[in-house]
Structure formats: C-alpha cells, structure tokens
C-alpha cells in the first residue's frame, strides 16, 4: 500500500502480507485458486476489498455481501502480481480512446517494470516456482481426483505431458499415466509410455531419497562433481551462444546501414516507393526478430553464468528434506521441475522402465553421478 506520508513510496501492510504469503504457500502445496478461495472463506479471511474497507480505505472493487467470500479470480490475480517481488509495474492497462472508460489489459511485453522499488513480500524462488506451477495446472479429473505428478510427468521421447488416467472404479494401484501425444495422435507417432501412478511415485521417492542422502553427506564432492559436469557442458554452450550474440549484433548494425542506403536511394529516385516499402518492411521484421533473439540469448547466458550459485541453492533445499518419508505436492513443487518417463524395455524378459528426474536448479542427476559421490570418485 502507499505510504500515507509519501504517496510515491510503497510500504508493506504486514497483515495483508501474511495472507499473501499463505496463498503462495497453499499454491506450492498443490492447491489451485478455487481450492485456495474455499480455504480462505472457511477460515474467515477478509477479501481484499473487505479488508481495505475495514481499514477505512476506499477501493475500486465492490465489497461482497459476505466479506469472506473469496473467488478464484482474486486468488489467481494475487498469484500473478509482480508487485509482491518488490517491483513497480506501469502500463498494465490502457484505454482504446479518450471517450472510452473501459480498461484493456496490456500484454506483458508492453508493460514497464521497475525492479526493487519497495520491500518484497515474496522471494524470487517462490515466485518462479508458483509461476511454473501455474503453467502446469493440475486439473481434477471427472472423478474429482488429482495426482502429484499431473503437469510434472512428461514423455521422454516427445517431451509432452503424460495424461493422468483414473476412474471411480479404479483402485489406487490401477491409476496410471500415458503419453498425451500417443493418446491424441496414435502409437505410431509416439509410444504410450504407460506407467502406473504408484510405480512412478515409488521410483521418484527412491531417487529423491538417494539424492538427498548423497548430497547431504558429500556436499563438497557434489559441488565438485556438478562444477566439472557444468564446466564441460556450459563452456561449450556459452561459447556458442556468445558467437550467436555477436553475429546477431553485427547483423542488426548491418541492417541499419542497409536501411539508410535504401532510404537514400529512394529519395534520389534510384529505388521505387513500392520496392523501398517492401525492403524496409523485410529489414524491420528481421531486426525485430534479431532483437528478440538477443534478449533470449542474454537471458540464457546470465542463467548459465549463475549456475554455481544454483548448486548452493539446491544444497540448501536438500537440507530441508533430510527425513523424507513421503512425497507431497509442496516438496515436489520445491525440488522437481519435471519427471521424464521412458518407454518400457522388455528385452531382458522383464519389464523395466527408466525415469529421469529434472531437479530444480541442477537438472537431471544420473545414478552414475550419485554412485561416484558415494564411492568418492568425483574429481
């Protein structure tokens, strides 16, 4: 809220901040906006409009008859507000004309964000995990059931999500996942990658326990192993991306020169207006695409250069779960970005199925790396 003594300065309303933190925590625990709204209503938490009214402040939002009547749209809006990161966001809305009173929402790329203008309520890691979760929403099936791995489990071949399949008549051991591509386009496009939900959960739990045990026991070896792994992989990737970055910058400069040349040719009558328009449109489009590529490359380079810090952050996460007994939505959302399920292999006469877990901050940790940690063979 705005500081009553300085309208240009924002300060944190501590009571409201508690509710905001609770909403983000509930989201990390696997609850969706509708479920969170019901929890807040049951616990008699005032809606934002009702709260501001209770503080003697005016609000543009109508106060509901029931001051605890939260709706999913309000919760979703809170989960998407960058202001909770400590940022100020301008140009979120616009009017189509001065005659119109209706506000239209600007796409994110047209908004202007000023970072770290006030105290943050939500830390960056929590924000990113929640936004990732919001992209991979766990929608209940017709039976009303959901699964821990909905939105996280993916096909190792095509990369698409695995469908969670269940029925009111199914026992828990019968619930399963299948590749969405296979289901929609047929097995000839991608195999089914069928896996029972209980098997997936057991496999992931076992791997996470091994990771937590190895990393917590051999922190320095893990740092060294991940440093060596990333040094080889990242060095090549960074070199390639920096080359692409240089090429894109040079091409943008070259396009500026070309545009100037065709403009002069057009003014001097050497180039027709129609030809000038066609060329200038092409150059502008290419420049726009290159600028977008530059932004993406710069972001990727920054992320890869921060990987050393990511290793320490991952170790800090591991320390929170030293006594892991069971998987929960909150734990999965905190530790795991995706679980890749491979097609089953029956060549040995037994059904075997590989599962790769992509952990937040560090990616996939193969069994071979964990074995080396235990044996002290990382250098």
Choose from 222-231, 297-306, 346-355 the range with maximum mean pLDDT: 346-355
Residue 166 has pLDDT above 80, yes or no: yes
CA gap 64, 47 in Å, rounded: 8
Predicted TM-score (pTM) of the model is 0.63
Residue 194 has pLDDT above 90, yes or no: yes
* The length of the chain, given as a count of residues: 379
325 by Cβ neighbours in 10 Å (0-12 / 13-18 / 19+) ranks as exposed
Strands (E) across 311-365 are located at 336-341, 355-359, 363-364
**CATH, range 2-135:** 3.90.1750
Q: What is the pLDDT of residues 250-266, one digit of tens each?
A: 888 888 888 888 888 88
118 or 95, greater pLDDT: 118
**Residue 112 pLDDT level (bands cut at 50, 70, 90):** confident
* For range 146-168, the mean pLDDT: 89
Q: What is the pLDDT of residues 53-89, one digit of tens each?
A: 898 887 777 788 899 999 999 999 999 999 999 988 8
* For range 104-122, the mean pLDDT: 85
- The DSSP secondary-structure symbol of 341 reads E
* Domain spans in the chain, listed from the N-terminal domain onward: 2-135, 223-310
Residue 343 has pLDDT above 80, yes or no: yes
* For range 333-350, the mean pLDDT: 91
In the 3-class helix/strand/coil scheme, how is 4-31 assigned residue by residue? CCEEEEECCCHHHHHHHHHHHHHHHCCC
- Can you give the C-alpha Rg of the chain in angstroms? 26
- Mean pLDDT over the full length of the chain: 85
pLDDT value at residue 24: 95
Task: Give me the DSSP letters along 156-198.
Answer: TTT-PBEEEE--TT--GGG-EEEEHHHHHH-TTTS----EEHH
């Amino acid at each position: 809220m705005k500081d009553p003594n300085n309208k240009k300065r924002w300060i944190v309303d501590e009571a409201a901040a508690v509710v905001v933190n609770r909403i983000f925590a509930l989201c990390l625990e696997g609850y969706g906006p509708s479920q969170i709204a019901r929890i807040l209503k049951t616990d008699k938490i005032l809606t934002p409009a009702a709260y501001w009214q209770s503080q003697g402040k005016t609000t543009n939002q109508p106060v509901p008859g029931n001051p605890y009547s939260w709706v999913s749209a309000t919760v979703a809006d809170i989960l998407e507000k960058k202001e909770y990161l400590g940022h100020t966001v301008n140009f979120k809305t616009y009017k189509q004309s001065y005659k119109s009173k209706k506000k239209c929402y600007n796409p994110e790329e047209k908004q202007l964000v000023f970072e770290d203008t006030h105290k943050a309520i939500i830390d960056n890691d929590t924000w990113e995990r929640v936004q990732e979760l919001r992209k991979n929403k766990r929608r209940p099936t017709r039976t009303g059931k959901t699964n821990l791995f909905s939105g996280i489990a993916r096909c190792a071949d095509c990369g698409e999500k695995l469908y969670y399949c269940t029925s009111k008549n199914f026992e828990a051991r019968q619930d399963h996942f299948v590749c969405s591509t296979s289901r929609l386009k047929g097995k000839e496009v991608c195999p089914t990658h069928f896996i029972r939900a209980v098997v997936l959960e057991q496999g992931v739990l076992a791997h996470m326990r091994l990771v937590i045990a190895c990393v917590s026991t051999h922190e320095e070896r893990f740092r060294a192993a991940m440093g060596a792994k990333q040094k080889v992989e990242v060095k090549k990737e960074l070199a390639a991306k920096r080359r692409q970055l240089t090429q894109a910058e040079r091409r943008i400069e070259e396009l500026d020169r070309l545009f100037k040349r065709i403009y002069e040719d057009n003014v001097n009558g050497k180039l027709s207006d129609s030809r000038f328009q066609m060329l200038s449109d092409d150059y502008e489009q290419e420049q726009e695409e290159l600028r977008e590529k530059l932004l993406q490359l710069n972001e990727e380079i920054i992320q890869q250069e921060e990987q050393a810090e990511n290793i320490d952050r991952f170790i800090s996460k591991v320390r929170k779960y030293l006594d892991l007994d069971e998987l929960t939505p909150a734990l999965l959302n905190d530790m795991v970005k995706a679980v890749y399920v491979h097609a089953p292999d029956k060549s040995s006469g037994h059904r075997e199925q590989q599962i790769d877990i992509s952990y937040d901050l560090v990616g996939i940790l193969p069994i071979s790396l964990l074995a080396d940690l235990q044996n002290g063979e990382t250098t």
